Chain A
Amino acid sequence: MSTAGFKDYAQHFAESRAAVVSLAVSLAFVACAIFAPLLSPTDPYDLTQLQLSDALKPTGSTRMLPGEEVRANIRIDGSATSVQPATPAKTHVTLVAEPCGLNCLGVGVQPEGTRLANLQIRNLPAGATVEGARKHPVQSWWTVDNPEGGKVRIASNGPLPATFTFLAIARSMDQETDFVFHLGTDSFGRDMFSAILYGVRISVFVGLVAAGAAMVIGTGLGLLSAWRGGITDAIIMRAVDFMLGLPALLVGLAILAILGNGVSKVVLAIVIVQWSYYARTARSFAMSELGKEYVEAARCLRLSPARIMLRHVLPNCMPQIIVLFTLNIASAISLESSLSFLGVGLPLTRPSLGMLIASGYEFIFSHKYWISIYPGIVLLVMIVAMNLLGDRLRDLNNPRLDR
């Protein structure tokens, strides 16, 4: 299309405000899908980040860090202190030690302000004590409960040895953090906001790839059908009738029941369901194009059938096929969501929107509405936007509505 033609088309499109909004919304969703890893505050696929303590938290609550036990060997060598963590796993809280004057050593934790249940110091050299601590009856273990500011002081009447090593064990209490779950968490403690972003990513990906593959296959078969006619046409079109006669969801369920779940299998199921729409549309528009004189002219110029179909007929069918594509992305997304909702679509570890809705379904009657409702709203907005967009494109292509 020429630039002037495109500009005119764009102006015409913009006459409907709903269409402009739906175009913007659709593009925003595609952007969300592309940039989900950058936009989302957590990675919902990283199972190690999940904490059961965060499960089923309502909208706006903050993340809790559970209490931990941190051990470290602290070595004093003259004026230098070194801390060697002795806890195998990585911890949020780390121990620190620093001199606090003559014959005095402070032991505390980072980050500052962490509330501790207790702090225990073991294996102090003789003569050293921990201020305000109770001592183990037998061992040289000093324990301070609820140390103020999370710090204890090791003091001695005489000078401390130049070099010694002791063990410090801090048990922290559950910590509130300032990380807010804006849309709550699901039953695994996943941040719903992040999960929805990644869910949109999967849904848009599945929608685009499945509708795209169905478009290529279906349009190809439709063109073949229109060009060959006769028995080829009859076979392809009866197959189309057969496919259109079956409920899409049922076909999808059956295919996934055989193949098992996974993104590629869901895409395959949607392609099997959707190719027939493209085949029928492409055939009927190709038939009407084939009846036009420019096709006869191309045949008179002895161009090859493949060239006539692909270079002359196909571009003239494309507007209608693009409209169908836009509408079918929306229906592919809703089909994927339905399949996932029914539990045969995508695995639980990589939730799509449908999966998220399904996972919240069992909690919805215990007033934990956010797990199902938010992904549901997002899905609704996405599908409505794409349908409005497709409708507008279809209207623009209808010469009867044109003036």
Chain B
Amino acid sequence: MTAPFFRVDNLNTWFFTRQGVIKSVRDISFELSRGEVLGIVGESGSGKSVTGMSIMGQIDEPGRIVSGSIALDGEELTTLGFEEMRHYRGKRIAMVFQNPLMTLNPLMRVRDQMYEAIGEHENISRKDMHDRCIEALKAVGIPSPDERLNAYPHEMSGGMRQRVVIAIALLLGPDMIIADEPTTALDVTIQAQIIYHIRRLIDEHGLGMIWITHDLSTLSELADRIMVMYAGATMEIGTTEEIIGAARHPYTRKLLDSVPSRNVPGRKLKQIPGNMPSLLALGKGCPFASRCDRATDICSEPVPAIQLSATHHIWCYHPFED
């Protein structure tokens, strides 16, 4: 693995709504290297999707990146204008959403959509475009790509559509792909196929990838490193081995423990009591404290990062020891 080429430092993205300020992302920092998959895992409302949107420069009113830096190869992205950002989008950073129909135009053939994506940024002949499309479709494991090029999105299954979306993301040879719950809506057998092809792509092309999901099991199979988010803040970040095998933060532990396949069938699951606090009324302390059985008074103070290894950081006053 090479040195990180993409960095996010102390990112804060807030939404200024009528009800108050929703601090969706608070002081998030991470980095990404080529050939690496960083998984961001969290429940709904944890800020994981807002993080992805912030990187893409797609935060709409009333939201705003309040502070922090997002840098690709040392170039700051947060200060770019709309036109400059458009150049980065697709060309250097591509995004894949949960619902492929958000990306695909139902009225256009796959071929035309792919050509359009290339033509937006590059001026090459139709023959070259065609070759590149076929290559991209093959890379995501689409059988008989020539036929698929002529198809309309509605003629394909959900899994096939999502592969086409990933193929479009690959067309311009981006440095990194941000995937937001890309396999959540798909069946497990299809999900396994896509994950297989993604992993191969990352390894062969040296792409960086941020894989946003609520599903720890997908990440355990795919990601190199995992960042755990809760209520807009990072709880723990480390390699997959460190997070899945030796999680130290109470939230990560409890999240792992509440998965049915890690419990004895027929017995009660180890559940996390309570609900996520409202993002409107957060104190400066640990947001998980209200649901945490290890919490003490100190947890209402701002939590500093604790470095456990070169890769493993947690934000907790009372981590598990082993």
Contacts and interface: CB of A to CB of B under 8 A. Distances in A.
Q: How large is the interface on B (under 10, 10 to 19, 20 to 34, 35 or more residues)?
A: under 10
Interface residues of A, number: 4
B18 interface: yes
Nearest to B63: A403
B62 interface: yes
A11 interface: yes
- Which secondary structure dominates chain B's binding surface? loop
Contacts of B60: 403
Contacts of B61: 403
A265 B205 CA distance: 77
A8 B62 CA distance: 16
A84 B152 CA distance: 99
A403 B19 CA distance: 12
Most chain-B Cβ atoms within 10 A of its Cβ — which of A8, A11, A12, A403? A403
A164 B57 CA distance: 108
Contacts of A8: 18
A58 B182 CA distance: 74
Contacts of A11: 18
Most chain-A Cβ atoms within 10 A of its Cβ — which of B18, B60, B61, B62? B18
Nearest to A12: B18
Interface string B262-303: 000000000000000000000000000000000000000000
Interface string A1-35: 00000001001100000000000000000000000
A12 B18 CA distance: 9
Contacts of B62: 403
Interface string A248-263: 0000000000000000
A168 B46 CA distance: 100
Interface string B56-84: 00001110000000000000000000000
A11 B17 CA distance: 13
A8 B18 CA distance: 9
A403 B62 CA distance: 8
B266 to A, nearest CB: 28
A23 to B, nearest CB: 20
A203 B225 CA distance: 71
Nearest to B62: A403
B61 to A, nearest CB: 7
Interface in A100-156: none
Interface of B: 17-18, 60-62
Q: Which 5 A-B pairs have the closest CB atoms?
A: A403-B62, A11-B18, A403-B61, A8-B18, A403-B60
7 contacts: A8-B18, A11-B18, A12-B18, A403-B17, A403-B60, A403-B61, A403-B62
